[in-house]
Amino acid sequence: MKQVRPIGRVAGVFAATGSPSSPHEFVTQAVEALAFDAAGIRGDLHAGLTRRSGPREPWLPRGLTLRNDRQVSALCPAELAAIARGLDLPALPPEWLGGNLLVEGLVALSAIAPGSRLAIGGGWGGTGRFDGSAVLR
C-alpha cells in the first residue's frame, strides 16, 4: 500500500523585524517573500545558528548558548481559528504569535514531530524527485 503524503499550501509569509531603538522591539509583519540561509530567515529576529537559553528552558541557566532549532515558526489557519474560539477572540492573526509561515491544508500541523521535513515549492506533488525551492526541517 502506497503512503499518501499530505500536501499543504503556504498561504502567507511573515518576518519578525525591529530594532533595539524601536519602541516595539519585536514586530511581525506580512512580507512578499522570505530569503533563507543556514541561519534561518535573513533579517528575521529569530535567525541565527545559536541562541541564548531563556524561560522556555527552566532546567538550564539563563543565557547559556544553545543550537538555534527554532529559526522558522509555521502556523496553521485551522489551528489558529480553534485557539481563537477557545479564547473567545474573533481571530488570532499569525503575526500575534511571531509566525513566519502560514500553512493551510495540513491536518494538525502543530502535531508534526520535531525534525520532520516540509518540502516547499515546485511541482513535486508528493511523488518522485523534489524540484521545489526549500526543504525545512
89, three cell numbers: 477572540
Residues near 90 by Cβ (< 8 Å), separated by ≥ 6? 84
Q: pLDDT above 70 covers what percent of the chain?
A: 81
pLDDT in tens, 34-51: 998 888 899 888 889 999
Question: What are the structural domains of the chain?
Answer: 9-107 (2.40.33.20)
- DSSP for 67-90, written as a single string: E---S--EE-HHHHHHHHHHTT-S
CB atoms within 10 A of CB 112: 16
pLDDT in tens, 50-61: 999 999 899 999
pLDDT in tens, 91-137: 999 999 989 999 998 878 889 888 888 777 766 555 666 666 777 77
Bridge partners, residue 116, by sequence: none
CA distance 43 to 32: 14
117, three cell numbers: 521535513
Q: Find how far residue 99's CA is from the centre of its chain.
A: 5
